[in-house]
Structure 1
Amino acid sequence: MTTSSPGSSRLPTSSRDAEPVAPTPLDVAAAFDTSPVGRPLAASPPRPPRASAGDDADVADQEDLADRVVAAVLAVPGVVRLHAGAFGEVATYLPGRAVTGVRLRPDEAEVHLVVSAGRPIPEVAGNVHEAVRALVSEPVHVFVEDVEPPPT
């Protein structure tokens, strides 16, 4: 049996009920529009005002770039999903959200991912590197954090 109150999600009340499942980075990435604006499809909290219009443009560019990197990485055959790192520390932090598995810095770009065991790991990593390299001017580092068996 489940119970809910106004404004809350339905949560199981007994051990027989299924536990809520946290979304994977792939689920989170799929929730974002890959349009040039790169805004989330879901409603997000209002953003605080910025000091200048130049700052807004920089943030919008960073959001667009992070979303394009995620889309490019997930499009590479053999990539299962992005990985947030051993302690969940790998992310690009943006106003109101974080893009996990991708760390964009002024001096480098990092991509942490999970690959399918059915594909050659060096080939997948190389293809990810090339896909991201086409989007950023900084050096790109690809980290394969885990390998998962292919779906049956």
Structure 2
Amino acid sequence: MTPDAVAIAAAVAGLPEVAGPHGGRIGEIATLLPGRRVAGVRVADGDVTVGVVLRYPATVAEAVSAIRGALGPLDRPVRVYVGDVAAPTTS
């Protein structure tokens, strides 16, 4: 069964380590669906790639672990691409 790109994007968006999706250097991390594009998730035959903007001060290792944990077991490897780090917000 093909993983659901919309469900993956929603699961990743809710993580405290993730500030938002990242589409890759030229927008290549995306899934095209009828009438819409899911940026930051590419579901391919051999793997799933998730592109994110990291929320400072989370580390890449923390983010990768959280993302893989949120997605649970899939029928293919999950690759995580960190495209940027969001500056800390002052409040």
Q: Tell me the TM-score normalized by structure 2.
A: 0.87
Partner amino acid, structure 1, of 2:85: V
Partner of 1:9: none
Instruction: Give yes or no for contact 1:102–1:110 (8 Å, CA) kept in 2.
Output: yes
Q: Taking CA–CA contacts closer than 8 Å with sequence separation of 6 or more, which of the two structures ends up with the larger relative contact order?
A: 2
Partner of 1:140: 78
Runs of 4+ in 1 over 3 A off after TM superposition: none
Confirm or deny that 1:76 pairs with 2:11: no
| Structure 1 counterpart SS, 2:65 | helix
Deviations 1:22-41 (A, max 9, x none): xxxxxxxxxxxxxxxxxxxx
In 1, Cα distance between the equivalents of 2:88 and 2:12? Answer: 18
Give aligned pairs, total.
90
Q: How does 1:3-152 map to 2 (within 5 A)?
A: 65-132=4-71, 134=72, 136-152=74-90
Percent identity over paired residues: 36
Structure 1 or 2: more strand by fraction: 2
| Structure 1 counterpart SS, 2:24 | coil
| Structure 1 counterpart SS, 2:88 | coil
Structure showing greater radius of gyration is 1
Instruction: Give yes or no for contact 1:92–1:103 (8 Å, CA) kept in 2.
Output: yes
Instruction: Give yes or no for contact 1:69–1:135 (8 Å, CA) kept in 2.
Output: no
Segments of structure 2 that go 5 or more residues without pairing to the other structure are none
